[in-house]
Structure 1
Amino acid sequence: MTIAVVIPAAGVGQRMQADRPKQYLELAGKTILEHTVERLRQVPELGPVWLALAPDDGYFAATSLAASPGIYRVNGGRERANSVLAGLMAIDERQYPWVLVHDAARPLVQVNDIQKLIKRCLETGCGGILATPVRDTMKRGMGTKEHTQVLQTVERADLWHALTPQLFPTAQLRQCLQQALQQGAAITDEASALEWAGLPVLLVSGRADNIKITQSEDLQLARFYLEQQ
């Protein structure tokens, strides 16, 4: 069975404070987006990739992905969930009953981790996500952005950092996202749409170096990790 891939890449990456969306910043001679797609294409179980891009995206055409077979472009939405849904709407669930969603700005995900996620989900028939256990002491704060104080320490024993990729049955994820968005639910990742619908989601432990490039210092760290890998 071949698994479809959706990559939401319509964001502008404001926190990066760069002259272009973060997925088009250069990392070791290629854009972050090119690294991400190339990493996913090393996984034999994965097939076509649907990229949800901003309608006015002026950078994609200059990448090697623009002329690459098996790469399809759809217009992304205002929020991540809208972009993922746009990709899902373009996929035939009979041909691709499972879909893997991955952040455009996570170019360091390991092939072994992806395959472990796929194996666990297909064995159980349940969707799942890569995640890492929280290691640090967790604090809940209160106050304003400029003046925040500690409200309490949060027990970390059962806390996980949600990563991507996230893998779900195509029809199930599409239905959950559609219903959640119609109801105005806060959907921060694909798993939260299934949680909102009361459906189970597996946690599959992944590597901590599967970082999301969000701020300028993340780019420096990504360069280091890429050299190590």
Structure 2
Amino acid sequence: MPRYSALVPAAGSGARFGAEIPKQYLGLAGRPMLYHTLSVLCECERIEHVWVVLSAGDEWWDAYDWKSLGPKLRVERCGGATRAESVANGLAAAAGVLRQDDWLLVHDAARPCLAPDRLLALCDGLADDPVGGLLAVPVADTLKRADGDRRVSATVPRDGLWQAQTPQMFRYGLLCRALAEHSGVTDEAGAIEAAGYRPRLIVSDTTNFKVTYPADLRLAELVLRGRKS
């Protein structure tokens, strides 16, 4: 049977959000946003271990109570200057636990609205896949390319375009090798692609969005409260 673990890089500062503290610790439905991100992974029966990768100088983690997330959660203060570095450092920290062919799901700290059924769809859809893949949604809006004056220079055909999300799920050994050889990527799928593989896209939904701006936090609150009602 395949084994599944998860890793959440949470060493970023969230500079674009403009808050005084890293955005993963901002309040959301009565908890830090990061709590919601971790809870769906910790509650999934398929997943055996959940690593959260913090920066070495993180001053906020210890201010909150994470005990209710259970024994799966493991904290590593080895975050790097980039997402790729944080993930690579987290993979190294997990080396004594994971096997080369174990599945590892990497999930954004700022995606607190991942639905459990989409998480299971990812695991089921890729269980026998030779490469792995990621949650994504087909692009629905018309896309415009801007010039230097922020005027439309072209309309980009959206046929075949998907918006990447997380989790992104690949074999532990393959992901370690891909990130070691292709560190200048923005997500794990990019490293796998650069290594010559073709990740599979698993259909997600738009509620699994990344909280980037203050308005996104308010929308996340509505999504989470709506699921409890």
Smaller-chain TM-score bracket:
over 0.9
Distance 1:197 1:136 in 2: 30
Aligned runs of 1:64-75 on 2, under 5 Å? 64-65=65-66, 68-74=70-76, 75=78
Separation (CA, whole Å) in 2 of partners of 1:85 and 1:66: 26
Q: Structure 1 residue runs of 4+, over 6 Å off?
A: none
Q: Does 1:131 align with 2:136?
A: yes
Q: Which amino acid aligns with 1:196?
A: A
State the superposition RMSD in angstroms. 1.5
Q: CA offsets per residue over residues 79-117 of structure 1, 9 Å max, x none?
A: 000001111112233287110000011111011111111
CA distance in 1, matches of 2:132, 2:146: 32
For residues 150 and 133 of structure 2, what CA distance do their matches in structure 1 show? 34
Task: Please name the residue that 2:28 is paired with.
Answer: 27
Are 1:86 and 2:83 matched, yes or no? no
1:81-120 matches, within 5 Å, as 81-92=84-95, 93-94=98-99, 97-120=102-125
Size of the alignment, in residue pairs?
222
Partner of 2:206: 208
Corresponding residue to 1:219 among 174, 197, 217 = 217
Map residues 116-195 of structure 1 onto 2, 5 A cutoff: 116-143=121-148, 147-181=149-183, 186-195=184-193
AA of the residue aligned to 2:171: P
In 1, the alpha carbon distance for the partners of 2:26 and 2:217 equals 9
- The 1:188–1:110 alpha-carbon spacing in structure 2 relative to 1, beyond 3 Å, is same
TM-score of the two chains, using structure 1 as the length reference: 0.92
2 CA distance for matches of 1:197 and 1:141? 31
Deviation at 1:205, TM superposition (A): 0.5
Q: Deviations over 1:172-217 (max 9, x none)?
A: 0010001112xxxx30110000111111100000011111111101
Matching of residue 48 in structure 1 with residue 49 in structure 2: yes
Which consecutive residues of structure 2, in runs of 5 or more, have no partner in the other structure?
A: none
TM-score if structure 2 supplies the norm length?
Answer: 0.92
Deviations 1:24-58 (A, max 9, x none): 00101100111111111221111211111111100
* Contact persistence 2:131–2:197 (CA under 8 A): no
Tell me if the contact between 1:130 and 1:163 (Cα under 8 Å) persists in the aligned partners. Answer: yes
> For 2:158, what is the secondary structure of its paired residue?
coil
Question: Structure 1 counterpart of 2:185, which letter?
Answer: I
SS of the equivalent of 2:123 reads helix
Instruction: Please list, as runs of the form range in 1=range in 2, the aligned pairs for 1:4-15 lying within 5 A after superposition.
Output: 4-15=5-16
Amino acid at match of 1:170: Y
